[in-house]
Chain A
Amino acid sequence: MQPQYTLNEQSHQVTPVRRADNITLDIDGHPVTVQLHWLDRHHAELLINGKTRQVYAAQDDKRLFIHLDGQTWHLEAQDEFSTGSGGGAGSGRLSAPMPGVVIEVSVAVDDEVNAGDTLMLIESMKLQTEIKAPHDGRVSAVGFEAGASFDKGALLVDITANETAEEE
């Protein structure tokens, strides 16, 4: 596997080439010679391109947090096969655009709803937002009860579109 890192939605490739006193890496197609000396578990000195830079690093599974020259960067180590695609447009899956708290749930599973109906009232950043049905359908999932808090991307409500005309 070739290590890849995503930074600001751009993918970068780092390939180890050679390791002696220095380490040679191929970064996005360019060879670079580096040395890294760890001063403690999170703090290292990085010698690269003739310059010594202070690096602070931490890792949470695939996510890397690197502080370099006064700025902190968030990188994601990529799995080769991860695609990262979610529900497409027109989907009835309503996910949280940001973390928050559910204030009120107006529907239950199996309720029939019309486009524009209020399904849930959520609060993020001290602002309340009504989650509305994007289309007619039946509620197939309600992710949270009132009072529960949710993370970014969590499924709030799922609406299954009605089968067309058959029942009528």
Chain B
Amino acid sequence: MSTHFNKVLIANRGEIALRVLRALQALDIASVAIYHHSDRHSPVVQQADEAVEITGDSPSAAHLDISQIVAICERLEVDAVHPCYGFLSENANFARTLEAADITFIGPSPEAIELMGDKITSRDFVAERGFPVAPSVNLNADDPNCVEAVADMPFPLVVKASAGGGGKGMSIVHSPDELQSTLRVAASEAEKYFGDKRVYVERYFASARHIEVQVLGDGKQVIHLGERECSIQRRFQKIIEEAPSPALDQVERADICEAAAGIARAAGYSSAGTVEFLYTSEGEFFFLEMNTRIQVEHPVTEMITGIDLVQAQIRIAAGEPLALQQQDLQTNGHAIECRLCAEDAFNGFTPETGKVFYLKEPSGQGIRFDSGLFTDQVITTAFDPMLAKLIVHAPSRQQAIEAMGEALQQLVLLGVKTNSDYLQAVLRHPAFIEGDFDTGFTEKHVDELSPPTLEREGLQALLAAAYLSDRSTRLLLDATPQPYAAIGNWRN
């Protein structure tokens, strides 16, 4: 490999840290994992060439501690840092601090992070260059006249944090009376999460899709790698993503993908990035935001393009030009990703905690399981509820849906409640199968997305299995000699 990094630090945890480790191994680059005490047994810590414990008031605080991470980089003579997603991945100050220490941030420039990280600035930037953005107004929650500023906009509206993104810091407002209090809460949340209380109000399209486009830039040129359909969401968080989108025809696909590449090009973008759009039922699309990092759902693009996006990020950061021209891009088949989350999906998606007593990963042709899960892992609410991602690739969308259903059934995770049954219910829903959905899917079909039921024989099998696997029964069976059991003394 011609890359000039000798050692890269992975500034993250969980499935994505392991995913980046695989890319480093493939490129023959030495790896450093950093971990909070609670993750000390995780696979990335075991498998990285070096692993360093980080400390903080909370596990998240440890992963956000820039000076601690930079000090580790310097001590271990790390050439570059991969931030993955979340934590410091879109923190321009982190990128700058690394730069000042002569360490490469594997991602775009701090300027690009700042431009796109601020939702108000990025929307203005995109609109000024002639790309479509949704109608919006910037507001100050402390301004007593702020409700009047949106007098011309039709409800519902969505309040978003300027420093937000990825579904965080968003609330829908249905009437003017709710606006003031929602703004206040949104501003306070925004200040707490992002240290920036600026919010804006955007027209909310009740029946729109969320379609995003993967781009790759090397600072000189930008190409797109096609779109991802990410409309299946709960609480503004994606749970099922696929590529390509079943909604676009070839002309629309070309339009939206070229717009995305154009926006990234205007920003002089380098590294992997994602341009997110709202796509309305009238076939219009509007720029929402650009994410300047690797996305959770990047595998669906990798599956249909055959391009390893994390390796591409590393090569670009090392100064290599893009290996691919736009006209060389070929996509093949259909890929779907399901996010496996620790939650009670049929009961308001409330987070679940527990311990991984047993794990059997699904496997087979076209199946990929990106996970940092391990046996005896304690699942807490200290981190995001996403546990793993299951990705399938098949020749057609229909086949991919079927393969995903089978793979979810193959996956065995005992000890913490997950949304697997819910994901299976979505995959079986006729509207999903038809490709007829928008970001309101999970709310619209809430009554039809019901927990599985058992017919009588299934229930008998379950109860028999429960009884015979119950530790107290096993003790009893072992302690009771067969001849006595056979003549009925077994009854207790």
Contacts and interface: CB of A to CB of B under 8 A. Distances in A.
**Residue among B412, B485, B491 with the most chain A CB within 10 A?**
B412
Interface string B171-201: 0000000000000010011001000000000
Interface in A96-110: 97-101, 103
Contact of B460 (A7, A32, A69): A32
A19 B490 contact: yes
A interface: dominant SS: strand
Given A19-B490, A71-B452, A32 B464 contact: yes
Size class of the B contact interface (CB-based, 8 Å): 35 or more
B353 interface: yes
Contact of A16 (B188, B349, B451, B492): B492
B408 interface: yes
A98 B464 contact: no
Interface stretch (B100-108, B314-322, B326-334, B465-473): B465-473
B189 A99 contact: no
B351 interface: yes
A20 B414 contact: no
Nearest to A50: B457
Interface stretch (B250-258, B280-288, B295-303, B415-423): B415-423
B399 to A, nearest CB: 18
B464 A59 contact: no
Contacts of A72: 412-414, 417-418, 420-421
A3 B412 contact: no
B349 A125 contact: yes
Interface of A: 1, 3, 5, 7-8, 12, 14-20, 23, 25, 27-28, 30, 32, 34, 36, 42-44, 46, 48-49, 51, 53, 55-60, 64-75, 77, 97-101, 103, 124-128, 147, 149, 151-152
24 contacts: A7-B462, A12-B459, A16-B490, A19-B477, A19-B480, A19-B486, A20-B485, A25-B467, A34-B468, A36-B464, A43-B360, A53-B465, A57-B466, A58-B357, A65-B415, A68-B461, A70-B409, A77-B470, A99-B381, A100-B381, A128-B188, A147-B57, A151-B353, A152-B350
Interface of B: 57-58, 167-168, 185, 188-189, 192, 235, 349-355, 357-358, 360, 380-382, 385, 408-410, 412-415, 417-418, 420-421, 424, 451-452, 457-473, 477, 480, 482, 485-486, 488, 490-492
